[in-house]
């Protein structure tokens, strides 16, 4: 009991933060008698009130001196071997580090940390992950070192937690606050219940009656820590919301807690009753217990995916005998020799062995200028090769979640404001206003009808009505469906892509590599016979290209390429060129090579060596298995179009495959494909684009939802919304149908949530629902909606897919 009393005294004596209003800790930061809960609040307040406080704090010209107590603390970071273990990325100029900072406290902390570039120009960008208390910093090595960076953020009150012994720092980040809150609320609830037994049974006994005020006083004392510590998160959240003009869900809960506490305290102090301390502490206990159960449930149903789910792509492995074969990116091991072609993503950190590397790290750092690398240089995961094929050796396995984080960057996303999330947010805001109105009206009514239950009615209304179930419907329905899609080799950037899929009414397909199979094409050569050296030269040039036709022709030529191609260039939508020893080789369209297109009804790859036209590789495309059935099914609900850079050679075949009324556009360059998507959108159409991610990257970005088809290639466009394994192409109609059904499930979940609230309110308004039961029903309603969303999406998926 003494410990609880002491904890209460400390809490009550701690002042409120002068900036954000949050209760300060045991050692608040004080500036001219003004208390602050954290350095972030202090800094923001000083900047906003420089004239009021005699403090000069200008981020643009802040002093660079580090306090003596910090200087030398991070000297070990000057050791390059240690620094390399902490850095996520590093080249000659730029480095990226991810720090865990336990002292990140509130929005002020986020503001200060994300403005580090104003404290030191060497800091380029800063991104705070508030839930994980992490900050990802990109900085210029020649302007600020890792040691200086750590000293800088420590000097403003945000010392990073750096563990070199344990790779799994999450074990040291367990937040036991919720456990303590539940324990204190449970302790108070149990003891108050025991002390209340005589009151329950109306026992009339001399000693009980004599000490009844004393027992009620003990109940009041035990209820105080339950309210001020266990229930503080609800009260603080409500206060902050009201301070910023926001009515969040914690407002009615906090009002319920305060109404019970004030009413009970009044009855005990005046001797008019025992109060409702049992209901009050039971309410807080069950609310917190429900929160724990929710966290466990959500953790069990977690939809966090790793790199294996996001990247169903292959990478080319080179064996000791120089043979090449594709392996899954998650099978890459330390010491593997990998071939990275033009426009391919480097999947893992490694050392460049040979080849001219020109690496574009914009995917990682945001810098668009490619960097030249020579043999022996380190290459970082996430870079994209620009130019001839290179060979590298992996120095570690694929970092789990690293590529995932890159793909999920907001700068690559297309934020749709008119989505289900904005709908649920707006409903939740109106919901709180309506509930407060109902509670006020019911309280006034019962005050004149039966004052003894008026407070109970108001408390029950404020507690039982909850939009949480409403807010959870969409995340769990979409989250479970994205998991199901992943199991079927359809990988989406985020859950809300499903909503975009359900809205699509126009489907646009690229031809080569999308509706045609790369490994199933018939290729014949017509023209001047090619010598062995010429064939080897052609294969050497093809080696660096990742275009589906290049890959097909590369596999068609049987001999190995003994020499590397120099000066390799890939002209999007036209062809490729390079020099092998003394031969200048160009492969591509008739226009690119200067040839005459003699047979426009076939896909052709013209060959030009040392300025002389040699001949043509004629490619007969084999369309994907089940394509006719896929197009027939989709044609019943969607407008279909095909965009291709090829000539009209496949027009007859395409017309026989596509439903009547479908559009086919030939000789489409990358910019033509993008403009065509714009034309569709100007006609108020919601466009879904499917391509291979090469020549159609711009069209994928422009479309309302862009899907890249993956088939044993390591080409990845960060702008695409999803990746579909080519082997699952036949399931495309099912995926689109499931997207629509998922949105229907969300709407049904909304109805269930509304029904729960209506029924609960009816019982509460009529005085037939106690606050304790309401506190139990509140998390139960949320969990029931979560289970319905999960089970329903599982059921429809099983019905549609299997």
Read off the pLDDT of residues 540-558 as tens digits, 9 standing for 90 and up.
Answer: 898 888 777 887 888 888 8
Quote the CA–CA distance of 579 and 172 in Å, as a whole number: 56
Average pLDDT over residues 309-313: 46
Quote the CA–CA distance of 52 and 32 in Å, as a whole number: 11
For 27: left if phi > 0, alpha if psi spans -120 to 50, otherwise beta; the answer is: beta
Q: How far is CA 332 from CA 95, 247, 309, 350, 360, in A?
A: 24, 51, 15, 11, 22
Quote the CA–CA distance of 604 and 549 in Å, as a whole number: 10
Whether the per-residue pLDDT at 206 is higher than 70: the answer is no
Output the pLDDT for position 734: 95
Quote the CA–CA distance of 801 and 775 in Å, as a whole number: 40
- DSSP designation for 160: P
Q: How does residue 401 score in pLDDT terms, banded at 50, 70 and 90?
A: very low
Does 131 or 652 have the greater pLDDT score?
A: 652
Q: CA nearest 231: which of 285, 183, 277?
A: 285
Average pLDDT over residues 240-258: 72
Phi, psi of 73 (to 5 degrees): -65, -30
Q: How does residue 227 score in pLDDT terms, banded at 50, 70 and 90?
A: very high
Whether the per-residue pLDDT at 252 is higher than 80: the answer is no
Beta strands in 512-565 (DSSP E): 522-527
Average pLDDT over residues 403-430: 54
- Written as six digits, the tokens of 39 are 């350095």
Does 680 or 10 have the greater pLDDT score?
A: 680
pLDDT tens-place string over residues 98-115:
888 877 766 667 777 888
Longest dimension (CA), the chain: 118
Output the pLDDT for position 506: 95
Helix (H, G, I), strand (E, B) or coil at 577: strand
Which residues are CB-neighbours of 346 under 8 A, at least 6 positions away? 340, 359, 379, 380, 381, 382, 383, 384, 385, 392
Q: Are 383 and 361 in contact (CB under 8 A)?
A: yes
Q: Are 579 and 556 in contact (CB under 8 A)?
A: no
Average pLDDT over residues 298-320: 55
Output the pLDDT for position 71: 60
Average pLDDT over residues 124-148: 84
**Whole-number average pLDDT of the chain:** 77
pLDDT tens-place string over residues 30-53:
666 667 666 656 655 555 454 333
* Sign of the CA dihedral running 691, 692, 694, 697: positive
Output the pLDDT for position 333: 84
- DSSP designation for 275: -
Q: How does residue 58 score in pLDDT terms, banded at 50, 70 and 90?
A: very low
Output the pLDDT for position 789: 86
Quote the CA–CA distance of 706 and 702 in Å, as a whole number: 8
Output the pLDDT for position 405: 55
Quote the CA–CA distance of 790 and 186 in Å, as a whole number: 31
Question: What are the residue ranges of helices labelled H in 14-145?
Answer: 39-48, 80-86, 107-113, 116-119
Quote the CA–CA distance of 135 and 203 in Å, as a whole number: 60
Output the pLDDT for position 549: 80
Question: What count of residues does the chain have?
Answer: 802
Does 433 or 416 have the greater pLDDT score?
A: 433
Q: How does residue 505 score in pLDDT terms, banded at 50, 70 and 90?
A: very high
Quote the CA–CA distance of 765 and 56 in Å, as a whole number: 56
Q: CA nearest 374: which of 360, 388, 353, 394?
A: 353
Average pLDDT over residues 712-734: 77
Average pLDDT over residues 13-21: 57
Q: Are 443 and 457 in contact (CB under 8 A)?
A: yes
Helix (H, G, I), strand (E, B) or coil at 581: coil
Lowest mean pLDDT among 215-229, 424-438, 688-702: 424-438
Q: Are 584 and 567 in contact (CB under 8 A)?
A: no
Does 194 or 26 have the greater pLDDT score?
A: 194
Whether the per-residue pLDDT at 54 is higher than 50: the answer is no
Quote the CA–CA distance of 275 and 262 in Å, as a whole number: 9
Q: Determine how many CB atoms are found less than 10 A away from the CB of residue 554.
A: 21
Beta strands in 398-468 (DSSP E): none
Output the pLDDT for position 19: 53
Quote the CA–CA distance of 586 and 578 in Å, as a whole number: 7
Q: CA nearest 37: which of 101, 102, 103?
A: 103
Q: How far is CA 217 from CA 192, 193, 257, in A?
A: 11, 14, 19
Whether the per-residue pLDDT at 276 is higher than 50: the answer is yes
Q: How does residue 306 score in pLDDT terms, banded at 50, 70 and 90?
A: very low
- Written as six digits, the tokens of 536 are 């080897």
How would you label 495-517 residue by residue, b for 16+ Cβ within 10 Å and e otherwise?
bbbbbbbbbbebbbbbbbbbbbb
Whether the per-residue pLDDT at 735 is higher than 90: the answer is yes
Average pLDDT over residues 444-461: 84
pLDDT tens-place string over residues 653-676:
888 889 988 999 988 887 888 899
Whether the per-residue pLDDT at 744 is higher than 90: the answer is yes
How would you label 333-352 residue by residue, b for 16+ Cβ within 10 Å and e otherwise?
eeebbbbbbbbbbbbbbbeb
Does 134 or 716 have the greater pLDDT score?
A: 134
Query: Mind giving me the DSSP string for 307-366?
Result: HHHH---EEEEE-TTS-EEEEEGGG--TT-EEEE-TTBB--S-EEEEES-EEEE-HHHHS
Phi, psi of 333 (to 5 degrees): -120, 160
User: H or E stretch including 136?
Assistant: strand 134-140
- DSSP designation for 531: P
């Amino acid at each position: 009991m003494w410990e609880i009393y002491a904890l209460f005294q400390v809490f009550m004596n701690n002042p409120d933060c002068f900036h954000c209003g949050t209760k300060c800790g045991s050692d608040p930061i004080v500036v001219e008698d003004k208390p602050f809960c954290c350095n972030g609040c202090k800094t923001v307040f000083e900047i906003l009130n420089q004239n009021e406080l005699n403090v000069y704090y200008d981020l643009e010209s802040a002093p660079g001196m580090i306090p003596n107590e910090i200087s030398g603390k991070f000297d070990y970071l000057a050791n390059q071997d240690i620094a390399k273990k902490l850095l996520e990325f590093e080249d000659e100029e730029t480095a990226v580090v991810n720090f865990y900072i336990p002292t990140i406290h509130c929005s002020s902390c986020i503001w200060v940390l994300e403005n580090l570039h104003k404290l030191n120009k060497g800091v380029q960008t800063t991104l705070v992950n508030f839930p994980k208390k992490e900050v990802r910093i990109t900085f210029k090595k020649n302007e600020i070192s890792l040691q200086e960076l750590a000293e800088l953020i420590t000097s403003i009150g945000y010392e990073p937690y750096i563990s070199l012994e344990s790779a799994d720092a999450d074990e040291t980040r367990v937040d036991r606050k919720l456990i303590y809150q539940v324990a204190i609320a449970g302790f108070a609830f149990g003891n108050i219940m025991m002390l209340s037994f005589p009151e329950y049974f109306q026992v009339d006994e001399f000693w009980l009656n004599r000490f009844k005020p004393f027992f009620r006083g003990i109940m009041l004392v035990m209820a105080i820590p339950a309210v001020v510590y266990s229930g503080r998160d609800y009260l603080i959240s409500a206060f902050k919301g009201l301070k910023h003009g926001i009515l969040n869900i914690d407002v009615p809960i906090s009002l319920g807690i305060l109404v019970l506490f004030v009413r009970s305290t009044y009855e005990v102090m005046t001797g008019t009753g025992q109060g409702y301390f049992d209901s009050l502490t039971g309410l807080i206990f069950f609310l917190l217990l429900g929160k724990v159960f929710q966290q466990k449930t959500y953790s069990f149903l977690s939809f966090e995916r790793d790199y294996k789910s996001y990247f169903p792509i292959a990478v080319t492995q080179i064996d000791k005998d120089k043979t090449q074969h594709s392996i899954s990116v998650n099978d890459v091991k330390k010491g593997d020799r990998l071939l990275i072609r033009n426009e391919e993503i480097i999947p893992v950190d490694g050392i460049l062995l040979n080849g001219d590397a020109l690496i574009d790290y914009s995917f990682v750092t945001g810098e668009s200028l490619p960097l030249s690398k020579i043999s022996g240089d380190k290459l970082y995961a996430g870079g994209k090769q620009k130019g001839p094929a290179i060979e590298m050796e992996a120095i570690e396995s694929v970092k789990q979640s690293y590529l995932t984080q890159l793909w999920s960057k907001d700068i690559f996303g297309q934020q749709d404001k008119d989505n289900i999330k904005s709908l649920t947010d707006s409903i939740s805001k109106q919901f709180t206003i309506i509930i407060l109105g109902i509670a006020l009206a019911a309280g006034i009514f019962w005050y004149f009808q039966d004052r003894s239950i008026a407070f109970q009615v108001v408390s029950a209304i404020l507690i039982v009505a909850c939009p949480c179930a409403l807010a959870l419907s969409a995340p769990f329905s979409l989250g479970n469906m994205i998991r199901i899609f992943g199991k079927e080799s359809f990988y989406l950037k985020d859950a809300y892509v499903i909503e975009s899929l359900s809205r699509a009414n126009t489907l646009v397909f690229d031809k080569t590599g999308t509706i045609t199979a790369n490994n199933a094409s018939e290729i014949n050569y017509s023209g001047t016979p090619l010598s062995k050296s010429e064939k080897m030269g052609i294969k050497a040039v093809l080696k660096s290209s990742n275009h589906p036709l290049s890959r097909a022709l590369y596999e068609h030529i049987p001999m190995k390429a003994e020499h590397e191609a120099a000066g390799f260039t890939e002209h999007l939508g036209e062809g490729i060129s390079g020099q092998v020893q003394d031969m200048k080789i160009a492969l591509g369209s008739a226009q690119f090579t200067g040839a005459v297109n003699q047979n426009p009804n076939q896909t052709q790859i013209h060959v030009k060596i040392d300025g002389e036209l040699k001949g043509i590789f004629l490619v007969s495309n084999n369309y994907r298995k089940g394509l006719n059935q896929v197009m027939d099914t989709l044609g019943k609900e969607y407008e279909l179009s095909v965009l291709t850079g090829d000539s009209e050679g496949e027009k007859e075949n395409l017309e026989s495959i596509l439903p009547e009324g479908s559009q086919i556009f030939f000789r489409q360059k990358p910019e033509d494909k993008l403009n065509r998507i714009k034309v569709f959108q100007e006609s108020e159409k919601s466009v879904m684009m499917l391509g291979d991610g090469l020549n159609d990257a711009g069209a994928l970005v422009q479309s309302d939802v862009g899907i890249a088809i993956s088939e044993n290639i390591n080409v990845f466009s960060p702008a695409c919304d999803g990746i579909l394994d080519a082997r699952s192409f036949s399931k495309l109609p099912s995926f689109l149908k499931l997207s629509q059904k998922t949105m229907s499930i969300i709407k049904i979940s909304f109805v269930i949530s509304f029904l729960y609230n209506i029924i609960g309110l009816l019982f509460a308004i009529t005085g037939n629902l106690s606050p304790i039961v309401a506190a139990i029903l509140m998390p139960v309603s949320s969990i029931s909606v979560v289970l319905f969303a999960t089970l329903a999406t599982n059921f429809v998926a099983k019905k549609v897919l299997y």
